[in-house]
Structure 1
């Protein structure tokens, strides 16, 4: 009964609607009865006037009134009748109320009109200077133009009611309605606050910086251009507040220093602390792709495969409101890379070339010269009490002085070419590029080549469908060699050559085997090649106004091949018996990840209300494969393939790892009157890495913002912008070994039974092994002063629960340690960013950007509260997770030159004991940051970047290994600091008495080898000149610039003593910083 009632109501509504429509059409749709026949046109028009209540207006000279027309029309609309009659008479009509105007059709030539054009000039408001390269677009379309060298533009428009959008980097954009005008001049204001900058949030959602409630930093292409680099992550060093780009390891197992990126500290013991890198919407795998050859860590980060010249912008997301939508991958921050794309009707060809020369700086580790070594070695031997006749270096034969730095280091050369083309027309735009990078590194036998290509294509199909295609690929070739610690450990009285000029196999003075790394560099092979592809295609369909659906599907693929051969001519290619056999290793590693992201995005602007919502899913599947083969017993160094070795000398292994992930995510953003802002995110993640009981996790966040300066009561002229914001939420970390939760076993011939391979359990099942979860709190205030200074201050407090670590278990399980979620750590701190325009006039402009960050790390919980000690570090509740745990060095006893320490109570002692170790500080700095200054005078631009660190300690493994106080002096070279040794009673020395082959324990781990990390580094200086337009006016070149640049110009620390001694700047890495001088040119055609 109820259904019938609803049906009747629907019929009633339809009837009322149809009736209203019929009344509206009554005058144009009436029935009249006229028998079939013919009438003169004038008579027929009178009939129509009577029947439809209209009046025809026409000129008799235009209308053939005596023409006969048929009259067989019944129940026809007036428009249909007129169309039928006048179609063949070349007459057109126009209904204007009850009046129908008839006129002769205009010929096509008459209808053709000149295109509508709006032109004008774009200037800078403060100086009145014209802006070259400003973009002018018709709002809501791809139609646009770019201003010429005089700031003029000319744009064809469909009508004179359009709205034009004017944009220029560093200026506040303006939208102006044409309102019938054909000439529109515009003056753009400076955007020192960068509030107009469009920041890419999670999953490609664009948002103005002034509307964001999350913590994010946006780096534009203009900022990136000031710092040409070979690697993407180098662009961020000293530029992004709270981001540290530091040396990862102080060992010498790599061909050059390895670096790591940290955002707001380290939140994990065992899982990755690296941020999530996303390129054009697809995550980039940045896991460990090194160590393909056992014992060698010479391959480089996958980020080095990206061509920095292809990057349009970089956005760094840091708090929960920004990164919770990435769930289990976002706890360490997210770095979004957007590559360049073309613009319709703006064709452009760009070419750039850069070449540079690099050399090691004065940060190299200082070791003894040949003469210094001979003096100290003999002195140490005499102090040992042994007869001089046993001294291993006869004075008459010991005349060699080899400078191993000069032997292993050289001046490097870098060349980089980039060519790109962009443009489009109508519904299509494109960007394509090709790049070539070649480097002869400062360490001998190390060379790199990179070939890269990119294609970005955007295609619209009408107003509802858009397809975006993004792909990039690179091929890399590397020749690799690492001298390890040989260049600073090898004695200077070793001659790498025989008297005949061949590479020496034996130490001439001692007769011992000589692992001659110079011979290894020249005679051995270590080659690496890699191929990468990162690409995706996104299809966006406009379902309704404001409602879009996007499906993005992509891959990240990498294949690395390494070939290593140890020659039969040196000891690396000989067996234990000294027989030359040659060793070969072949390794291959591949990684393939498929990602599918599907999302609905809804946006609505209703008066002062603005709403956007996002709902989506993400699924991914990845597979890593590795294989390795080894062999020895080659007949010749010219034959290096494994198949030419005896079968019994060959070994092979392979492995494969797979994992899958599935996520559902959503985002809701709301703002009112650009004053009040709300953002909420959620994500549900499932991952095959974790135990069967805990494979799913939920992550949520919310953020609020209030732009106080947009309130009616805010009338301050001094503070022109003021905003406060806060966010809280959760993120996870799932980036740890793939099978840590699984029960595993392995096959091997070592466990064979009955001539069949056997298997053993390698790890038990771990069903409760779960995610690390970080709870993030962020608050901030931003304010602008006089449109010239912008200050951003933020406080954060991040607590990570369920820390993953290895804990001891009963050996009856077959294991000694397993992964568990056992701890809690806190990272809290302050971040300050200040941007300013110091000078701004017609010819001069000086901008400064300063950032400062302080991060405080503290362990809140550990497994059963038990301290964890490893090497020189300790993990202890209440301490920093990178706390150093050492015995305190007290110097040298002036009476006899013996080493002194402090015990745990602070009393002086001559006995070294591990029980006297105490926490002595953290390797984390108290403060760190950077400052960029950019000064422009007419066509010249000078910029420089300073990095600084205040506080924190570094333990120098180099000094510990090379300051043995005589213990190893007869076999290894020593640090120059050993020159300050004790020699006689009363000496106030910093180094104990040198005694050969006697351990005084003074070279054991202690604060003796500790350095404060406070320093300032002049990282980059560049000078750019933009050629005047008159110089290139008669050439195809639209714009040209040349520049000079220097990297790692200077390194200062307040704790330096003598110039020829090792301080922090010489001791933090086994490989010194490289100073690079570059010349470059950029051309636009």
Structure 2
């Protein structure tokens, strides 16, 4: 029997570990004050080298001895010399970097790395893709998540690390099933096509196909498989999100929906010593929520009352559940189907070293997860990564290599069906198994639900991402660069369906079968560039220009094998009696571009940034393949003005910035402008499958933004407010055609315009920053709004029942709920045109399912070696309630406990219709769940992450020659506060994001 875990167990475990770590801290705190190890008091000369995280020497670092006035500064090579005793502790401080304490010990040479202080705008550098810029000086909207935030979360996809952390970015996990692609929208929905809204993913300069990997089995009802899930999260240094035109226009059409830049870690150090880092954590994941369903006595009473209300006698045909032999049986199907605990294990190892010219990092990881469902299902991931950086002695020539390789093995089944069963099976349902261990098929109206477990879906994915970059500085400020990237993804799926998955009465007419899917994605990119930078007194000029040559190939092979003589051979198509190829696609995509940037500033107060790109795409006809995109961004740091300094002395930083530009989109199927044909079933014939239209062209996305950034009290309080307005027009959508033409649509540009506007607010504060205690708070809040501002002749297209001009895109058209009919006790909806029929002409109620606002608030509290970080995510939204997942009150199948308050008479005021199993009751319920009755408040506040860690003090680590040792507890989705009655307020009646608690250790040697 599987052990059941709940929130209470998780909280008890977390509290026990908190006490444990506090005890360790108290013990070590006492030990460090006692000279147990008899460290010698003699002093010796120490040589130290200080660099940043990129291995660049830092000059002017203040190096002092704790509790002493002795100290020195590092020179231009980052080197310092100091007389100190082995028991001394050095304190290193420098503006823009975090303070570092390190024990001297017996070492004669120390190689020290300072971490950038994320609260210092002048020190933080953000990646804009083709160039970098200081946070203080950026003209575009670029948000950044660091490795420290990513590593706090026991997750699989890098996108999950963004939930609740970045304004303007909506990330929804959607389901707790492993490797399913999270949905991501950067500043709303731009396209009428779902597949036209994916942002651009770039990993170490290599663009990745951002569309989810197609699945042919259990995942067909959801987004698909995440193409980023095979990355090693512990190897990610930063994730940057590019949002406005100034930041994205240099990517042209590829950046229409925003850009996600992922940068992996690099080797560092210049002393030639090997550095080892290992991290291990293990824990459990459970489903955090259950629906309140009827138990057996309540269910039987409900069914009997329904037949009593209808005046119908229960029979074996209309009420088998009331005539089963064992009427006392009770099964909590939610506990049976997804009440287990999934074990989680993650191990990561990294080795790095470097000298003055060369550095490397070699790493690998293993991640394993079980399942909350019954059966032997789970997920395994192996990764390997290499980073190599080399520069010439004179620092003119630089070359770098980055390789990331991942192998995923995932075993799934159709859990969507199992969740539906868990919510609807009668609690007095028959047993799953017979006495001999075989599936019990007796009395199962909908078939034995555990038959789904006999249809495993095995998914194996190999992913390779590699990039090599080289640069050479010909003269001061003039640099030539080249970037070459290659990506490969192979996804193989096998779905086995043996006879055991069917009722034995059908074994004579069914065959065992297997479905095979092979997806291959290959891509290469070459980008030569030239960069020039020069200062003319107070005037600084930075320019770059380059070309992009990109080729992608996407292949799909889908085949089905049937008639295996031995079911042990399923999966081997050679052993099948018959093999049918259902899809065989080979698609090639070519993309070329020329791009450029000109950035200038005067006295580091006035900034302007011009970017442009000319794109060419093979997805358009010969005369429409090229388009131009560009943007202008500007900024004014007004806090540097003398007048402002005198009038507002409390203002430490103030900046106004704005941008305007255009990007495009070619996210449409390939070869859509051509006539296509397929062979007829008989010999010698062809039939058309697609109409030609060589005249459609690029979607155009115009983006406008203004922003104000303020810092107060020496940047202890920082506030950013952004307003944006994006308009996407010339929509690339299939133009509907009358079926009499032989085609339902043809690829074309529709005269529709989608507008996204919104406000983004960011606030960061340093609440305390004293000797042994610091507390930082970060808040982000977004108010988005999407509107279909124009759609010419919308009423004459098939989209008239999906969209309305002046309304958001994510709407549902509903009947108007009119309460419970006092005569019948059943739900009523209004027949607006009074024609006696219910159709889309009667759906006058419009409900917006977009987020009204969303955001997150995180805190980082540090006391000596003890650190606590937590993030709350909040979303204001509406969604379908649990009514849409259940059936009419009184009918076969379990119900929410709400039906206990069902209508019993005209004097009874209730929101639940009369218990009945008649067709009229089903029809009334069906209409009601298509009305505004089925939409409810799905807002929530969720403790997304909570992390508690303890870092052992240097006085203890020095004895064992350990640079760093951290013990930690990480939790995910610890609790959710909501009035929503279903399983999950975001996904509805799907498996909610799992609640995870892990414990681990990190060692740096």
Q: TM-score with structure 1 length normalisation? A: 0.79
Aligned partners of 1:211, 1:240: CA distance in 2, in Å? 20
Contact 2:58–2:74 (8 Å) recurs in 1: no
1:965 equivalent to 2:889? Answer: yes
The Cα shift of 1:236 comes to 0.8
Most deviating of 984-993 and 427-436: 984-993
Task: Tell me if 1:778 matches 2:778.
Answer: no
The residue number in structure 2 matching 1:760 is: 687
Q: Which moved more, 1:708-717 or 1:435-444?
A: 708-717
Q: CA deviation at 1:1063?
A: 8.3
CA-CA distance at 1:119 after TM superposition: 6.4
Report Cα offsets for 1:818-854 as digits up to 9, x if no partner. 2221111100111000000011211221100000111
1:637 counterpart residue number: 567
2:229 matched to which residue of 1?
304
How do 1:696-711 and structure 2 match up within 5 A?
696-711=626-641
SS in 1 for 2:955: helix
- Kept in 1: contact 2:232–2:365 (CA 8 A): yes
Counterpart pick for 2:188 among 258, 262, 265? 265
Q: Could you say which residue in structure 2 is the equivalent of 1:712?
A: 642
Alpha-carbon shift at residue 963 of structure 1 (Å):
3.3
* 2:464 aligns with one of 533, 538, 548: 533
**Match among 968, 991, 1001 for residue 924 of structure 2:** 1001
Contact 2:703 2:724 in 1 (8 A): yes
Match of 1:552 among 483, 491, 506: 483
Q: CA deviation at 1:664?
A: 0.4
- Of 862, 865, 868, the match for 2:794: 865
Aligned counterpart in structure 2 of residue 916 of structure 1, from 842, 856, 864: 842
CA 1:401–1:1046: 2 relative to 1, 3 Å: same
- Structure 1: how far apart are the matches of 2:277 and 2:944? 27
The answer as to whether partners of 1:144 and 1:344 remain within 8 angstroms in 2 is: no
Aligned residues of 2:52 and 2:113 also touching (Cα < 8 A): no
Alignment of 1:734-749 (within 5 A): 734-748=666-680
Secondary structure of the equivalent of 2:975?
strand
1:843 matched residue in structure 2: 772
> Could you say what secondary structure the match of 1:714 adopts?
helix
Q: 1 CA distance for matches of 2:61 and 2:366? A: 32
The answer to whether residue 866 in structure 2 is matched with residue 946 in structure 1 is no
Matches of 2:499 and 2:309, distance apart in 1: 41
What residue number does 2:1001 align with?
1081
Q: CA RMSD in A?
A: 3.5
Q: Judging changes above 3 Å, is the alpha-carbon distance between structure 1 residues 503 and 1084 closer, same or farther for their aligned structure 2 residues?
A: same
Mapping for residues 106-117 of structure 1, pairs under 5 Å: none
CA distance in 2, matches of 1:235, 1:189: 20
Contact 1:480 1:526 in 2 (8 A): yes
Alignment coverage as a number of residue pairs:
919
- Asked if 1:683 corresponds to 2:613, the answer is yes
State the SS of the aligned residue for 1:305. Answer: coil
Supply the distance in 2 between the matched residues of 1:357 and 1:189 (Cα, whole angstroms): 34
Residue 916 (structure 1) shift:
2.6
1:259 CA displacement: 2.5
Give 5+ residue unaligned stretches, structure 2.
1-44, 82-91, 101-109
Q: Provide Cα deviations, 1:630-661, integer angstroms capped at 9, x if missing partner.
A: 12222222221444656456546422111100
Distance 1:314 1:985 in 2: 60
CA contact (8 A) 1:691 1:768 kept: yes
1:404 equivalenced with 2:333 (yes/no): yes
8 Å CA contact 2:218, 2:414 repeated in 1: no
For 1:960 and 1:1045, the matched residues in 2 are separated by: 35
SS at the partner of 1:1001?
helix
Matched, 1:826 2:751: no
Is 2:301 aligned against 1:375? yes
1:290 maps to 2:211:
no
TM-score by length of 2: 0.85
- The reply on whether 1:492 has 2:427 as its aligned counterpart is yes
Kept in 2: contact 1:133–1:148 (CA 8 A): no
Return the offset for 1:324. 0.1
Instruction: Specify the alignment match of 1:1050 in structure 2.
Output: 975
Specify the SS of the correspondent of 2:960.
coil
- In the TM superposition, what is the alpha-carbon distance from 1:598 to its structure 2 partner? 0.9
**Alpha-carbon shift at residue 154 of structure 1 (Å):** 9.1
- Provide, for residues 1008-1029 of structure 1, a one-character-per-residue CA deviation record: whole Å limited to 9, x for no partner: 1111232211111111111111
Q: How far apart are residue 229 of structure 1 and its match?
A: 2.8
Alignment partner, residue 246 of structure 1: 172
Whole-angstrom CA distance in 2 between matches of 1:867 and 1:721: 54
1:188 positional shift: 12
Q: In the alignment, what sits opposite 1:385?
A: 311
Contact 2:179 2:229 in 1 (8 A): no
Aligned counterparts of 1:611 and 1:575: Cα–Cα separation in 2: 80
Classify the secondary structure of the residue corresponding to 1:554.
strand
Q: Does the CA contact (< 8 Å) of 1:366 and 1:1066 recur in 2?
A: no
Give 3-state SS (helix, strand or coil) of 1:1033's partner.
Answer: helix
469-478 or 1043-1052: bigger deviation = 1043-1052
What SS does structure 1 have at the residue aligned with 2:781? strand
Structure 1 residues 1066 and 655, CA gap change in structure 2 (3 angstroms): closer
Change (3 A) 1:795 1:496: same
Candidates 653, 665, 671, aligned match of 1:733: 665
Q: Is 1:991 matched with 2:912?
A: yes
Taking a change above 3 Å as real, the CA distance of residues 600 and 118 of structure 1, as seen in their structure-2 partners, is farther
Residue in structure 1 matched with residue 953 of structure 2 by the alignment: 1028
Corresponding residue number in structure 2 for 1:324: 249
For the residues of structure 1 that align with 2:324 and 2:505, how far apart are their CA atoms? 34
Residues 997 and 1078 of structure 1: is their aligned pair in 2 closer, same or farther, counting only changes over 3 Å? same
Give the distance between the partners of 2:414 and 2:228, measured in 1 at CA. Answer: 21
- Deviation (angstroms), 1:901: 3.0
- Residues 850 and 200 of structure 1, relative CA distance in 2, 3 Å threshold: same
> 2:523 is matched with which residue?
593
Whole-angstrom distance in 2 between the partners of 1:667 and 1:147? 44
Confirm whether residue 1070 of structure 1 aligns to residue 1005 of structure 2.
Answer: no
Aligned 1:339-378 pairs, distance under 5 A: 339-345=264-270, 347-362=274-289, 364-378=290-304
Gaps of 5+ in 1: 1-116, 123-131, 174-182
Distance 1:265 1:646, change over 3 A: closer
Q: Which has the larger radius of gyration?
A: 1
State the secondary structure of the residue aligned to 1:202. coil
Corresponding residue of 2:20? none
Kindly state the Cα deviation for residue 157 of structure 1 after the two structures are TM-superposed. 6.9
The structural deviation recorded for 1:917 is 1.4
* 1:816 has 2:764 as partner: no
- C-alpha distance in 2 between matches for 1:158 and 1:763: 66
With a CA cutoff of 8 Å and minimum separation of 6, indicate the structure with the bigger relative contact order. 2
SS in structure 1 at match of 2:499: coil
Judge conservation of contact 1:495–1:504 (CA < 8 Å) in 2: no
- Alignment partner of 2:350 out of 415, 420, 423: 420
* 1:1018-1054 deviations in Å (ceiling 9; x for gaps): 111111111111222211311101111221112112x
Q: 1:582 to 1:745 in 2, by over 3 A?
A: same
Counterpart-to-counterpart distance in 2, 1:149 and 1:495: 72
After TM superposition, give the deviation of residue 367 of structure 1 in Å. Answer: 3.1
The structural deviation recorded for 1:623 is 0.6
Contact 1:267–1:800 under 8 Å retained in 2: yes
Alignment CA distance shift 1:387-1:255 (3 Å)? farther
Alpha-carbon shift at residue 868 of structure 1 (Å): 6.5
Q: Give the conservation status (yes or no) of the 8 Å contact 1:370–1:400.
A: yes
CA offsets per residue over residues 742-763 of structure 1, 9 Å max, x none?
2212235x2x13xx5x322110
The residue aligned with 1:804 is 732
